[in-house]
Amino acid sequence: MTLDARGSIETDRAESDPLGGVYSSYPGPSAQISRDPALPWWRRVLPVIASHRYTFALAISLSFISLVFQTLVPQLLNNAIDHSLVAHSAALSTAVVEVLVVGLIAGITGIVSRQYVFTTAYNVEADLRSLIYEHLAWLSFSFYDQVQSGQLISRANSDIRSVQMYSTFAPLIVVQSFIGVIAFGFMLSINVVLALIAMIVMPILYFVGIKMRRVMFPISWITQARLADVATIVDENVNGVRVVKSFAQEEAEVNRLANAAERVAWAYIKDAQLRAIWSPWVQNLPQLGLALVLVFGGWMVIDGHLGIGAILAFNAYLLMLQAPFMMLGQLVMMGQRAKASAERIFEILDENPTVTERPGAYDLVDVAGRIEFDHVSFHYGDGPEVLRDFSAVIEPGETVAVVGRTGSGKSTVARLLTRFYDATDGAVRIDGHDVTDLTLHSLRTAVGVVMDEPFLFSISIRDNIAYGRPNASIDEVIAAAEAANAAEFIERLPHGYDTVVGERGYTLSGGQRQRIAIARTLLVNPPVLILDDATSAIDVHVEAGIHEALAHLLERRTTIVIAHRVSTIALAKRVLVLDDGRIVASGTHEALLATTPLYAQILAQATRVGD
């Protein structure tokens, strides 16, 4: 095996990712959402849309051209009726050709415009989703201690879709409104009085739109929040299906989801009721303008002040004016839903990680592995202190076991060393370097952790083991699996190392998942290794094989073993007994058994729990 080569820690991240893809295949978003919370939501999203300004501008321009040519059609019809059908002063075929050419140009530009609009829309959506995931990846563990995964999933999907739809399609509706202005200009050229009569309902529509916007925002927020509640319940039931079934709580969970679904239904129904009340005003008030035009325009035609072609063209332009007003209601509803969704997204994006790299942070290199906890204190959130005045020194290459009752702070020691959390007081050092002065990537590359609850991705076993070193050869993967005593069961699987595990690895036993997790860490070959109760899910026979392989590897690295089993503690040369957040005893296993009653009690309790 070649697992002790320190150069194997480095990974060429520019070429591939841990899940078999290629980092450089997607350049990622070229702009960031503004972090200024004082700006309106659309101003904060604007930089992302502006990063696609060329395709978006082309889409808007072509849409404008298409609509301009559409406004020419009624005028051409007016001229055709007056000059070809009534006055017989021009050939009708010429008018037909003109209408066909203008209509064809309008149709082609409209089709191309829609293609670019959708291209821009989906690129903006991809950027927004990448930005929120990138931010989630940088947030600290303390954030995830307080938030539900279903809420995050909802905001990264349906909320982003609402923002994307409004951000990309609202400008098209604005373009449609500008075309309404052009149509109104043609109406003025036909007859000023009739044009003003047609626009008499516009002030009423303006005030209706303002009122509609005010009543739609609250229900839009409630709808998105309740959709997130449903996503949370579904996520919990999928991930916790084994717990649900083991306690025969299927019916209770179905009822819980049904209640959440009813709350969503209520929100949608309330939304529909508001639409039913306000949409007819927006859609039908323009019809009043059309009725007035027919009354007064018909009187003008009868009285000889207006031609038949003119009144027909006038009505066609009035119908064009209706389109923006009919879309006004949809625009208001989309806008309020987008605003509610954007504010829910900003709740995440405005969160700052509690664990960050200081200015001037430097890489940890040439790691010897000396670890020092200097009067460290720590508490989670507003909770009680988990560690208080915790001090310990672990020399390079030393293997130390940390033993204590449940809740005594054993796992917290590992989390502070890797800077999953920062100590509230005191300092944690590696080779004399305060961990808060180091870059997070170099620190976490140097300190490998095998958790007590292993997580596997829904990919092949080979890719799971090579997660930290995507470019590792199959021989290196096999060597790591052999070191973790996992090679034997992997080779018995139908597709060996290419076998794809189910979600979270639940197609494998707990012991098998744990061995793959150990192999994954060993392949990275960190100079400092933390085994956080890493063999708790493995039976004693398999554990003996793993310990035999680990014993050789631990000689060449600093190792912290957090354990309950005597067999695991035996890997360590020294044992630290932790109680109430402090070290109360230190020594060899045999010496502690003879001198420290608490140590014997902890081991006896662990044995009873194991039995």
Selected from 3.40.50.620, 3.40.190.290, 3.40.640.10, 3.40.50.300, the CATH number assigned to the domain covering 371-610 reads 3.40.50.300
Higher pLDDT: 189 or 48? It is 48
pLDDT band, residue 6 (cuts 50/70/90)? very low
Give residue-wise pLDDT tens across range 551-586: 666 767 898 988 777 777 877 889 999 988 888 899
Q: Is residue 142 a contact partner of residue 354, using CB atoms and an 8 Å limit?
A: yes
Lowest pLDDT segment from 203-217, 366-380, 423-437: 203-217
Q: Check residue 256 and give its pLDDT.
A: 79
What percent of the residues of the chain are helix, what percent strand, and what percent coil, each to the nearest 5? 65, 10, 25
Give residue-wise pLDDT tens across range 520-554: 888 888 899 888 876 655 666 666 666 665 666 67
- CB atoms inside a 10 Å sphere around CB 611: 5
Q: DSSP letters along 332-391, please?
A: HHHHHHHHHHHHHHHHHHT---SS-PPTT-B---S----EEEEEEEEESTTS-EEEEEEE
Distance from C-alpha of 134 to C-alpha of 65, rounded to nearest angstrom: 38
Over residues 53-69, the mean pLDDT reads 87
Q: Is residue 469 a contact partner of residue 440, using CB atoms and an 8 Å limit?
A: no
Locus of tokens 């002790």: 4
Task: State CA 382 to chain mean position distance.
Answer: 27
Q: Check residue 20 and give its pLDDT.
A: 46
With a CB cutoff of 8 Å and minimum separation 6, the contacts of 183 are 71, 317, 320, 321
pLDDT greater than 70 at residue 90: no
Q: Is residue 16 a contact partner of residue 468, using CB atoms and an 8 Å limit?
A: no
Give residue-wise pLDDT tens across range 9-27: 233 333 444 444 444 455 6
Q: Where are the domains of the chain?
A: 39-349, 371-610
Give residue-wise pLDDT tens across range 262-271: 888 888 888 8
Q: What is the rounded average pLDDT for all residues in the chain?
A: 79
Higher pLDDT: 241 or 43? It is 43
Q: Is residue 168 a contact partner of residue 56, using CB atoms and an 8 Å limit?
A: yes
Measured CA to CA in angstroms, residue 74 lies from 35, 68, 78, 313 at distances of 48, 11, 6, 5
Residues in the chain: 611
Q: Is residue 523 a contact partner of residue 468, using CB atoms and an 8 Å limit?
A: yes
Distance from C-alpha of 446 to C-alpha of 270, rounded to nearest angstrom: 55
Fold category of 39-349 in CATH? ABC transporter transmembrane region fold (1.20.1560)
pLDDT band, residue 182 (cuts 50/70/90)? confident
Q: Check residue 8 and give its pLDDT.
A: 32
Lowest pLDDT segment from 2-6, 113-117, 213-217, 491-495: 2-6
The per-residue b/e assignment along 85-108, b for 16 or more CB within 10 angstroms, e otherwise, is: eeeeeeeeeebeebeeebeebbee
Measured CA to CA in angstroms, residue 547 lies from 483, 512, 558, 564, 570 at distances of 9, 15, 16, 15, 9
pLDDT greater than 90 at residue 373: yes
Higher pLDDT: 63 or 302? It is 63
Higher pLDDT: 250 or 241? It is 250
In the structure, how many helices (H) and strands (E) does the chain have?
Answer: 21, 10
Give residue-wise pLDDT tens across range 436-451: 999 998 998 899 888 7
Higher pLDDT: 463 or 177? It is 463
Amino acid at 376: V
∠ CA 177-54-323, rounded to 5°: 15
With a CB cutoff of 8 Å and minimum separation 6, the contacts of 505 are 454, 455, 456, 457, 464, 513, 516
- CB atoms inside a 10 Å sphere around CB 54: 10
